[in-house]
Structure 1
Amino acid sequence: MKTTDILVIGGGAAGLSAAAEAASAGAKVTILESDLQLGGQLIKQTHKFFGSKDEYAGTRGYKIADILLEEIRSAGDRVEVHTNTTVTGYYREDGTITAMRGEEEYFRVQAKKVVVATGAQERLIPFPNNDLPGVYGAGAVQTLMNVYGVLPGKRVLMVGAGNIGLIVSYQLMQAGVDVVAVVEAMPKIGGYWVHAAKIRRLGVPIYLQHSIKEAYGKDVIEGATIQEVDNTCSGIGNEKRIDCDIICMAVGLSPTTELCWQAGCAMQYVPQLCGYVPKRDRTMRTSHPDLWIAGDASGIEEASAAMVEGRIAGLNAAASLGLPVKAEGMKEYWQRLDHLRAGEVGEKIRSGIGQVLVDTWEGK
């Protein structure tokens, strides 16, 4: 049994920010990360961030990861890190967390407070032959290219024109891969126009109101058939066959919230946040008195917002232990979030958060 003041589950943008904030207040922090290294999605992101200077606008994602990791290192022995470690369960009876390092070392953790920053998992869509080698999620393609320096293939069909699909398409082209087309089931692109403009200038066609009908190939992907769809995503004809050796799926993310369910948190399905998420107050505390939430696990949003949510969660988890924190920090972080979520772009997020944000847990 390991013990700690604050356990942070997940070492991505939100988790690192939460850990840095809590450690700066004097808490003993333990980070459990299932990947082989800390940084989460940041280490895959070679593009420059939007947002504000406080969240490193104009800085490439992997550089932001370095900044956060330096914060963790500067905390010294107040932060203990376990990578290649998967949390396997939360037991309500006594608040014990179980975890597995690698495939053989099983251990338990008793934490006074827990910050769940488990991120998101990629969605996939079913189609005939989607089990052929050569069908990837966009995150896997980013990992191959930007972490390990491996090209996934030579000709890629991108399914999904949100920010992830558009950004990964451009990164593929920078690496010398031919992106033969981007297909998007909606009548307009879901990502920022600046990302779409980059790949359109390079001659990549974007087929709106189209989706993949089926893949074909004998032993590996050799191509796909795309088809025009209606507003229910049902095929309505106008098929087109495209030769490719990779089909990259960028069709959205879902919050990873299994531990919140196990802990008995009050949950709600919120389409604007892309799935079931825990209700939370302005400290990012859930209905469970010892559990905070941050990042994509609280609703799918940009990494800039995840970092600020992590700061809020870490600060308030530390404050709940009686550690000294600056009260003005909470106000400042919410001002940053409001700035990031301002305008038409943030309208969906604001609507979703309004459905799960509570004023107080008293009497609940």
Structure 2
Amino acid sequence: MNIDIAIIGAGPAGLMAAIHAGKLGARVLLIERAEYYGGQLIKQTHKFFGSKSEYAGERGIDIAALLVKQALGIPNVTAWNNATVLGYYQEDGILTVKHQDTFVTINAKKIIVASGAAEKTLAFPGNDLPGVYGAGAVQTLMNVYGVMPGKRLLMVGAGNIGLIVAYQLLQAGVEVAGIIEAAPKIGGYLVHAAKIRRAGIPIYTNHTIKAAYGSPALTGATICQLDTNWQQIPGTDLDIQADGLCLAVGLTPLTELLWQAGCKMAYVPELGGYVPFRNSSLLTTHPDIYVAGDVAGVEEASAAMVEGKLAGLAAAASLGQTAAALSEDYAEAKNQLAALRAGNVSAKIRSGLAKVTINDHSEALSEVICNA
């Protein structure tokens, strides 16, 4: 199958890439391994905040529905769900995809990798007990399938995901026994933490999970304090009864295809792990592969959407697709990203991006777009 642009992943970044590349006239194939489009957005029942251009005031589930409708409504955008990209072959630039039990080879002029990120986990005794979940699994059960993951849950991790999911558990009628955070202070936004505090949920900073126990399923966990060297302090054990334990301990970019393609990579802790070098148009060191969203560095969904827009515009423009509003849309996306990453909250993100953002001859594309 020959196509102009193959987009891998139909989450917020992939959908926005498809919308903007498709509107410019590029023939787009959007590939999603799940049965649904929208990625993590379909699990997010909370309202976004920020600016109107990033859908402030809208719930993630509603944003997903809007983006899916827009993307699938463009005639030159083809979307496959239940489709897994199995590999990229450098010798001929071919993608192999398993779609509905059929193996297909895709020859794309440009590829946008928007594969997202995977949840990290923790190693501790009892971490394989029934009742121990990742935060994504808890959201899927509650917000996609309407299944309560337990009656009383303990949350591990006080970043944005841990705080948001803890509040969603409360809204679903689940008792939250507490939130554990290894760092000396919470990592999430105060607006989320304030709702947790008002609900009376304790947040144990400088704590970690020591062990989970129960038979045949989880019945409780032992937590303990950490010293300034992140070592467990003897004699500080605290038992907490719970039939559910939710791990929200971070994400790591899903970069396997980028490694296969030979993209230059670097380990950047501020961005969640190994990420590709890229220029300001999100083009990697591979001349035909762009990135967008959490695969480029773990951030908020708002940033993923804007990166998808930027990558979609840049990839389509590199194929000669143009429109009267291209220059304006491209500049707007750049400005949106700069605004989202401004301030002290995003200092870590800016620091990480500085390590992998490159300037090379392909930056000339920016000039072409801006002069379009």
- Report the TM-score, using the length of structure 1 for normalisation: 0.97
Aligned residues: 360
Q: Would you say 1:333 and 2:333 are equivalent positions? A: yes
Aligned to 1:248: 246
Distance 1:56 1:118 in 2: 22
Q: Would you say 1:170 and 2:167 are equivalent positions? A: yes
Aligned to 1:72: 71
Q: Of residues 278, 281, 305 in structure 1, which corresponds to 2:279? A: 281
> Structure 1: which amino acid aligns with 2:221?
A
Aligned to 1:343: 343
Distance 1:231 1:118 in 2: 36
Distance apart, 1:362 and its partner CA: 6.5
Q: Of residues 131, 135, 143 in structure 1, which corresponds to 2:132? A: 135
Distance 2:247 2:353 in 1: 27
- Structure 2 SS opposite 1:292: strand
Q: Would you say 1:207 and 2:204 are equivalent positions? A: yes
State the Cα RMSD in Å: 1.2
- Structure 1 SS opposite 2:345: coil
Aligned to 2:359: 359
Aligned to 2:107: 110
Q: Of residues 185, 192, 210 in structure 2, which corresponds to 1:195? A: 192
Distance 1:183 1:18 in 2: 37
- Structure 1 SS opposite 2:108: strand
Distance 1:101 1:133 in 2: 32
Distance 1:343 1:149 in 2: 37
Distance 1:342 1:164 in 2: 21
- Structure 2 SS opposite 1:346: helix
Distance apart, 1:74 and its partner CA: 2.4
Identity of aligned residues (%): 57
Where do residues 211-290 of structure 1 align in structure 2 (5 Å cutoff)? 211-237=208-234, 238-290=236-288
Structure 2, gaps ≥5 residues long: 364-372
8 A contact 1:52–1:340 mirrored in 2: no
Distance apart, 1:328 and its partner CA: 2.5
> Structure 1: which amino acid aligns with 2:279?
D
Aligned to 1:310: 308
Distance apart, 1:233 and its partner CA: 2.6
8 A contact 2:218–2:242 mirrored in 1: yes
- Structure 1 SS opposite 2:344: coil
Distance apart, 1:26 and its partner CA: 0.3
Distance apart, 1:234 and its partner CA: 1.8
Q: Of residues 281, 284, 290 in structure 2, which corresponds to 1:292? A: 290
Structure 1, gaps ≥5 residues long: none
Q: Would you say 1:7 and 2:6 are equivalent positions? A: yes
- Structure 1 SS opposite 2:87: strand
8 A contact 2:72–2:79 mirrored in 1: no
Aligned to 2:49: 50
- Structure 1 SS opposite 2:342: coil
8 A contact 1:186–1:231 mirrored in 2: no
Distance 2:138 2:105 in 1: 33
Deviations 1:15-37, CA, capped at 9 Å, x for gaps:
00000000000011101111111
Distance 2:248 2:302 in 1: 20
8 A contact 1:211–1:227 mirrored in 2: yes
- Report the TM-score, using the length of structure 2 for normalisation: 0.95
Q: Would you say 1:119 and 2:116 are equivalent positions? A: yes
